[in-house]
Amino acid sequence: MNVVTLVGSLRADSTNRQLALNAIDHLPEGSTAPIFDRVAELPHYSEDIDVEGHVPAVAEELRSAITDADALIVVTPEYNGTLSSVMKNAIDWASRPYGMACIKDTPAIVLAASASARAAQWARADAVRTLQVAGARVVEDTLGVGSSHEAFVEGKLIDPEADATLRTLVCRLVPAPVPAV
Ligand SMILES: Cc1cc2nc3c(=O)[nH]c(=O)nc-3n(C[C@H](O)[C@H](O)[C@H](O)COP(=O)(O)O)c2cc1C
């Protein structure tokens, strides 16, 4: 599988980034799973700069990565009750040009880590809705990791239940084998 991951926190020690890496670890062996690390370089979306032949290179790179991917993992912090602005902006870029969006029909899951015990419930709900409107085939179940500053040891998610849920969610991105005839 080729899976692209977007991380909506730019912080060096981001717990969302750690959660993303734990998710990638659950992909089938041999998968390619780059984190698209240029979300902060994407200009704020404007139709004035989304012009054929003049699209910013970084936006083209994002669109190509999603076009080439079998699936998308979206990992966002909750900022003031919703997904982070860099994540929303990346999804906005992936949702255009209208009718030709690279994200259309891409299977996707949403994960979030937040400092609060509510585990970024609003950010997850908003990310699912945004991805649905953008045209992705997003799984409605999500995983939220609360009190995230205590949830990882040496980068590993320590709660086995949360890790099992993560594995199950990641597996939902893997296409079912074609039955033998
Ligand atoms: C601008 C801002 C707004 C925040 N708003 C929320 C919030 O609404 N809900 C929440 O649970 N945490 C909120 N937080 C705390 C984040 O959950 C916390 O900083 C978390 O560690 C961010 O993820 P990271 O570790 O990947 O950077 C906010 C943090 C910032 C910087």
What's the gap in Å between 85 CA and the centre of ligand 1?
12
Q: CB-based burial of residue 24 (10 Å sphere; 0-12 exposed, 13-18 middle, 19+ buried)?
A: middle
- Residue 7 CA: nearest ligand 1 atom is 26
CATH number, residue 90? 3.40.50.360
Q: Which domain, by its residues, includes 106? A: 3-171
**From the centroid of its chain, how far is CA 45?**
18
- Domain-embedded: residue 118: yes
Q: What does the DSSP 8-state code read for residue 100?
A: -
- CA dist 117 and 121 (Å) reads 10
What's the gap in Å between 97 CA and the centre of ligand 1?
31
- Residue 119 CA: nearest ligand 1 atom is 11
Partner residues linked to 157 by β-bridges: 152
Query: Strands, DSSP E only, in the chain?
Result: 3-7, 71-75, 78-79, 82-83, 107-113, 137-138, 143-145, 152-153, 156-157
- Residue 81 CA: nearest ligand 1 atom is 8
Query: What does the pLDDT look like over 50-72, one tens digit per residue?
Result: 999 999 999 999 999 999 999 99
- Domain-embedded: residue 178: no
Tell me how many domains the chain contains: 1
Helix (H/G/I), strand (E/B), else coil: 22:
helix
pLDDT of residue 137: 97
- Domain-embedded: residue 181: no
In the predicted model, what is the mean pLDDT of residues 117-127? 97
Q: What is the overall mean pLDDT for the chain?
A: 96
pLDDT of residue 178: 78
- Domain-embedded: residue 176: no
CA–CA distance from 41 to each of 8, 20, 60 (Å)?
A: 12, 20, 12
What's the gap in Å between 144 CA and the centre of ligand 1?
13
Q: Which of 35, 86, 114 to mutate to test the pocket of ligand 1 (most atoms within 8 A of CB)?
A: 114
